């Protein structure tokens, strides 16, 4: 008889009474039913608990409020969830999105039949009312993700959205979210996991639908929220330091973070890069020239695009 391993779904929430019911319904409708959903409330002051209450009659769902041992924010809530989790696999969902009914089933098919540490899948963004028209066929292509793809994760050539990956629980044995980060916390954490040598599979099937609205963390970042922007800079510095310690700070990544320093107009990030990278004097001079002449390089690239 096949042993059905448990999945822990970690759902942090804050003041989402108007959206969370639809999310919980999509979790409840999963085709794979051996899961626990830990709802971690970050101190909601709306009627979130009233909306959640009927779901707590289902033994799959557990409600906890974040304790003072964990910092306020998504990272603190998720760390509490990781400490409470009893499943063999971990997946993070947001409280305003819609999950494909085969999400858990498809990921587990890959993770239980192979020796992968994680399963990445496709995610789509939607606005307004969600159209329930799921693609339920089981045929899809896939590819492996190993350490050599780490630069693609960091540079976002291969996006690792926080809610578009299922992980084996042991990926978090020595890894937690940095609770001081209020944005890009999953980017920093996932880069650490891949840098530690974990390997996975990516399947070309959409299993998650993210609601787009200005009050999300991402929406606030792109609207110029200072706290979110500061967090992205701090996450970048942490990634640079970790890569440097593991001798993984390649020329490609050095140039990427040099450009990021210019893009965010943050000289502190550039100085951190210079201090951490094991470059010789001439290479550092070259990098400083790249940084200071970035406005002209950007202008030249734009001109070339117009001429092509």
Reported as a single tens digit per residue, the pLDDT across 247-301 is 999 989 998 998 898 888 898 998 999 888 777 776 777 777 777 765 554 544 4
**pLDDT tens digits along 17-27:** 999 999 999 99
pLDDT at 307 over 70: no
**Residue 115: predicted pLDDT:** 87
- Contact in structure between 86 and 169 (CB atoms under 8 Å): no
Give CA–CA dist 58/229, Å, rounded: 39
Average pLDDT over residues 28-53: 97
Cα→Cα distances 209→30, 98, 221, Å? 14, 5, 20
**pLDDT tens digits along 133-167:** 898 877 899 999 998 999 999 999 999 999 999 99
Q: How many CB atoms lie within 10 A of CB 189?
A: 23
Q: Is 293 helix (H, G, I), strand (E, B) or coil?
A: coil
Across 28-172, the runs of DSSP E, i.e. the strands, are 35-41, 61-65, 89-93, 98-99, 118-126, 142-145, 165-168
> For residue 74, with 0-12 CB atoms within 10 Å meaning exposed, 13-18 middle and 19 or more buried, which class applies?
buried
What torsion do the CA atoms of 10, 238, 215, 73 make, to the nearest 10 degrees?
A: 50
Give CA–CA dist 132/118, Å, rounded: 27
**Residue 304: predicted pLDDT:** 44
**Residue 255: predicted pLDDT:** 87
Question: Could you tell me the domains of the chain?
Answer: 7-213 (3.90.550.10), 224-307 (no CATH)
**Residue 138: predicted pLDDT:** 76
pLDDT at 200 over 80: yes
pTM: predicted TM-score of the whole model, two decimal places = 0.89
Closest CA to 145 of 170, 111, 173: 111
Q: Assign 3-class secondary structure to 149-205.
A: HHHHHHCCCCCCCCCCEEEEHHHHCCCCCCCCCCCCHHHHHHHHHHHCCCCEEEEEE
- Report percent pLDDT > 70 for the chain: 90
Name the residue with higher pLDDT: 61 or 225: 61
pLDDT band at 74 (very low <50, low <70, confident <90, very high): very high
**Residue 301: predicted pLDDT:** 42
- Contact in structure between 98 and 26 (CB atoms under 8 Å): yes
Name the average pLDDT for the chain: 89
**pLDDT tens digits along 1-17:** 356 799 999 999 999 99
Name the residue with higher pLDDT: 93 or 280: 93
- Report percent pLDDT > 90 for the chain: 71
**Residue 123: predicted pLDDT:** 96
């Amino acid at each position: 008889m096949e042993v059905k391993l448990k999945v822990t779904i970690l759902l942090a929430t804050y003041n989402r009474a108007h959206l969370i019911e639809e999310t919980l319904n999509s979790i409840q409708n999963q085709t794979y039913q051996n899961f626990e959903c830990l709802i971690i409330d970050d101190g909601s002051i709306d009627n979130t608990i009233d909306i959640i209450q009927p779901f707590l009659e289902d033994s799959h769902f557990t409600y906890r409020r974040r304790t003072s041992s964990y910092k306020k924010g998504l990272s603190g809530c998720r760390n509490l969830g990781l400490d409470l989790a009893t499943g063999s696999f971990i997946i993070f969902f947001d409280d305003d999105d819609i999950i494909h009914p085969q999400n858990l089933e498809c990921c587990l098919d890959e993770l239980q039949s192979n020796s992968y540490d994680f399963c990445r899948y496709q995610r789509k963004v939607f606005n307004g009312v969600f159209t329930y028209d799921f693609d339920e066929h089981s045929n899809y292509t896939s590819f492996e993700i190993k350490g050599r793809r780490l630069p693609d994760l960091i540079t976002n050539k291969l996006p690792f959205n926080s809610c578009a990956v299922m992980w084996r629980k042991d990926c978090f044995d020595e890894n937690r979210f940095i609770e001081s980060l209020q944005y890009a916390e999953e980017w920093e954490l996932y880069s650490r996991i891949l840098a530690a040598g974990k390997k996975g599979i990516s399947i070309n099937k959409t299993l998650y639908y993210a609601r787009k609205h200005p009050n999300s963390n991402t929406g606030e970042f792109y609207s110029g929220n200072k706290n979110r922007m500061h967090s992205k800079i701090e996450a970048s510095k942490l990634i640079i330091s970790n890569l440097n310690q593991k001798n993984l700070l390649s020329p490609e990544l050095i140039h990427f973070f040099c450009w990021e320093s210019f893009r965010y107009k943050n000289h502190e990030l550039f100085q951190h890069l210079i201090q951490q990278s094991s470059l010789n004097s001439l290479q550092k001079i070259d990098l400083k020239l790249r940084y200071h002449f970035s406005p002209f390089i950007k202008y030249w690239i734009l001109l070339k695009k117009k001429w092509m």
